[in-house]
Chains A and B, each alone.
Chain A
Amino acid sequence: MSDKNKPTSETEALPETLILGHFDNSLTERQESELAQRLATCPETRARFRTQMRMEGRLHSLGRDGFLASAAVQQASAADGPGSHIEHQVTTVAESSSRRIPPVFTSWVAAASTILLLAAWSLWPSGVNAASVLRQAQQAAQELVDRTYRVTLTNPSNQAWEQELTLDIRGGSKFVLRPVDGSYIMGSDGSEFWMARPDGPVWVTSNYRALAPALRRRIPNRRVLGLATSPNKPFLLDITELLSLIKRKYEIELINPSGTPEHHIRATLRSGTVNGPEKIEFWTDADTGVVIKAKTYWPDQNIRTLELLNSEPLNQNWYQYPLHMPDAEARRL
């Protein structure tokens, strides 16, 4: 394609300039009126606007579905040469794979098929660094045990957005999520995704994307489901997926030295990478590698915090909806 697409005259340039300016939200009031008048009176302008409208929709869809991210990530990875390593405690985790973060539901299902057992502590290298802490945390997160986390969603500029939830998770593929006010419950048994409100039916699907719109109006606070279903802002409540994301896209730094009971890691999004939290911090138990706390910092100032409450075994059927909603009607979507 040529980059030399300069308009040949002002009269030809104007409609397209107005149209692109509209999508950039940069038109003045007078220009908006002018565009409106042209759309009302000029079939060519309408046709061009429709084409641009479809193009904008497709670009947003391509972005949402991850077709744009790979190119950007590849470029960012290519830019991360040996010179980008900083000090000995800052580790760039090279990863050849540039695949997009999968939607959380599918990733959890996929994670279930790749569960590994915990590595023996005796094999752990004596020299602790950021990469070794991350590896240990990943192995611990793949243990097939129940863990319960407190999840806090906050935004310094919007206190109304604050929420607290409880997350039970087993092995990365099964979860139950409940806000503290008990207004709804959602979960997955590893193969199906379900959600219910008190006294309501249980909505069940194996296709979370189809589930999302149907549920939005049934959930008092829709933003939580938005987080759960947006591929652009993956939920990241799954420690396994969070650690995997860190490995692929972040530079990690061990904050506190070895010998302390907890390891504190700070992960910073690599320059040029476009998707994900700008910063992630997590704390692991120095002995077990289990993530005790994790905080993700997003560009829109949202902060999501996970704190481990306990690792007690839960009922075998805990991740299936009949245990929580025994009398509710199940409706499949």
Chain B
Amino acid sequence: MATGVRGTQRDLMTESQPIQQYLQLRSEFMGYLYAITRDAELAEEVYQNAAVVIIEKASSDETIRNFRAWAKEVVRRQALHAIRSRETARRHGRATAPELLEAISATFCEDDSTASLVHKEAAAMQKCVGELPQEKKTLVAMRYEHDASFDEISRKMNSTPAAIQRALSRIRKMLHECTQRRLALSEGQQ
């Protein structure tokens, strides 16, 4: 049984609410899923599978008192299951260190950021993305929309994979700093 699910009442949620709440938390969950899978397709697969569990549990006679915490646990379990399956199927290559998977999952589950902060952070980051110079936006789009590898991007951009990786690292640092700056500014104004 997933953490945070107990009781026999089902009046706290209708059948349509859980999936809507789940969709609202998509970015947060996908961030975690990508962190432990480093595979956008697998992350999406796990996200979808967790949605099925959430729909089914939500339609049972169980009360979900803290949806976010409960959904996190569902996602975490689905993710670890998927990773184990992938590692079993993989014939070569190195699996992610188990202690790192545990540490990331613990970091994800203990996150108690308020919904307000998460929302403000998302809005700030989107503005920062909008401010990126065009060529940086193109790199970000290739990486995050098309899930292109550094090799694929470098071929399209006439560059090297290492240079693309460095460029994207710089962009992510810029986005992080810009987001934090905007958040600080927003708090200062209040």
Residues on A close to B: CB < 8 A?
A: 1-3, 5, 16, 20, 22-26, 29, 32-33, 35-37, 39-40, 46, 49-64, 66-69, 71-72, 74-76, 209-210, 212-214, 216-217, 230, 232, 271-272, 274-275, 299, 333
Contacts and interface: CB of A to CB of B under 8 A. Distances in A.
B2 interface: no
26 contacts: A1-B131, A16-B173, A23-B172, A26-B165, A36-B99, A40-B99, A51-B180, A53-B31, A53-B35, A55-B172, A57-B28, A57-B34, A58-B122, A58-B125, A60-B27, A61-B27, A64-B145, A67-B129, A71-B134, A72-B138, A212-B48, A214-B52, A216-B52, A271-B156, A272-B156, A274-B146
B176 A1 contact: no
A75 B145 CA distance: 15
Contact of B34 (A56, A209, A217): A56
Contacts of A32: 96-97, 100
Interface of A is mostly: helix
A56 B32 CA distance: 8
B9 interface: no
A1 B177 contact: yes
B35 A68 contact: no
Contact of A275 (B122, B146, B179): B146
A191 B16 CA distance: 19
B128 interface: yes
B5 interface: no
Contacts of A37: 99
Interface string B115-158: 00010011001101101101101101111111110101000100
B43 interface: yes
A68 B141 contact: yes
A37 B178 CA distance: 28
B107 A46 contact: yes
B82 interface: no
A35 B165 CA distance: 19
Interface of B: 16, 19-20, 23, 26-35, 38, 40, 43-44, 48-49, 51-52, 55, 94, 96-97, 99-100, 102-104, 106-108, 110-111, 113, 118, 121-122, 125-126, 128-129, 131-132, 134-135, 137-138, 140-148, 150, 152, 156, 165, 168-170, 172-180
Contact of A5 (B38, B108, B174): B174
B141 A5 contact: no
A54 B51 contact: no
Most buried by A among B19, B23, B138: B138
A36 B138 contact: no
B110 to A, nearest CB: 8
Given A55-B172, A55-B179, A214-B55, A61 B30 contact: yes
Nearest to A2: B174
A57 B30 contact: yes
A148 to B, nearest CB: 30
Given A24-B168, A57-B27, A71-B138, 16 more contacts: A1-B174, A1-B178, A20-B169, A29-B94, A36-B103, A39-B100, A40-B103, A55-B176, A59-B144, A61-B27, A68-B141, A72-B137, A212-B48, A217-B52, A232-B146, A272-B138
A50 B107 contact: yes
Given A1-B132, A23-B38, A53-B35, A71 B137 contact: yes
Nearest to B22: A213
B102 A62 contact: no
Contacts of A58: 27, 31, 122, 125-126
Contacts of A49: 35, 104, 107
B118 A213 contact: no
Contacts of A272: 138, 156
Nearest to A53: B31
B156 A68 contact: no
A48 B166 CA distance: 19
Contacts of B106: 39-40
B141 A56 contact: no
